[in-house]
Structure 1
Amino acid sequence: MSLCLASAGVVKALQVAAFTLAWTHSIEKTAWQEDWLVTPAGLTLQQARIKGTGAGMEPPPEAHLVDGWFQWSPPPALRAEVVLGNSGAAGEWHLCSVGRCQTLSEIFEHPIGANVTTMSVCRDP
């Protein structure tokens, strides 16, 4: 499977079956992580983690504190695409797979800036 990232008219395909999306909350400056699977039917969120709590980032009641992270597994839901905005207030999104993390700017090989990035499963032509 391949993950397609699209931003400002450029598309990058990454050969990954699973990845972690990581970022910093723009107000609270707290780390967030989400583990995703790339499937033929779409993207599915497997687990989410927050390194603290604060305004607009309360973990759900089923979250458990593990090694300083509130962790939980949301109900399964396939997503055709996931849109990543960028306020510029908290740094960049990071995509991690097989022990390697890169910013979106590193993946696209140019600054993303405030451009929106869309994640989806790559479809064969």
Structure 2
Amino acid sequence: MIGLCLGLAGSLWAQLPVRHFTLAWNHSIEKIRWEEDYRVSTEGLVLHEARVRGNGAGMDIPDDARLDNGSWHFQPRLPPQQPLKLGRTPEAGDYQLCIEGDCQSMSQWVGAPTSAQPFIELWSCEIAG
């Protein structure tokens, strides 16, 4: 079974048996929520759709985005990410992983963000089932 792995530099910290998830966070400067929907595939993490509630520093809304229920929705055109590397520090706050509509802090699976470990990687992996 394919799933989502979390860790860094090849070191596995957690495995989640999911095929789809949403990565969500609040922009560290603008404090605006950002959400990205991913599909887990053998090629990597495929970004299907992104949503943001406004624009600001480093948060340009693409020209083809549509406004729906207070958020700008758009489909970034990126190749599968394998791994997806995320900055994660106490100052910036934590990411949320949302699975089937249930959002939990990433720290639930890998501990709180620390300055000594300012990154995390997410990738698709085989999970023994």
Do both share a fold (TM > 0.5)? Answer: yes
Aligned with 2:90: secondary structure? coil
1:33-65 per-residue CA deviation (whole Å, 9 max, x = no partner) reads 000000111110000011111121011111111
- Runs of 4+ in structure 1 off by over 4 angstroms are 7-10
Amino acid at match of 1:52: G
Match of 2:51 in 1: 49
Distance in 2 (CA, whole Å) between partners of 1:74 and 1:18 is 17
Length-normalised TM-score, structure 2: 0.87
Give the superposition deviation at 1:89.
3.0
Distance in 2 (CA, whole Å) between partners of 1:40 and 1:96 is 20
8 Å contact 1:29–1:90 — kept in the other structure? Answer: no
Question: Percent identity over the alignment?
Answer: 37
Gaps of 5+ in 1: none
Distance 1:93 1:124, change over 3 A: closer
Match of 1:5 in 2: 6
Q: Please identify, of 61-70 and 1-10, the stretch whose mean Cα deviation from structure 2 is larger.
A: 1-10
| Among candidates 58, 61, 70, match of residue 59 of structure 1 | 61
Q: Please identify, of 84-93 and 12-21, the stretch whose mean Cα deviation from structure 2 is larger.
A: 84-93
Amino acid at match of 1:104: M
Amino acid at match of 2:60: E
Length-normalised TM-score, structure 1: 0.89
Match of 1:121 in 2: 124
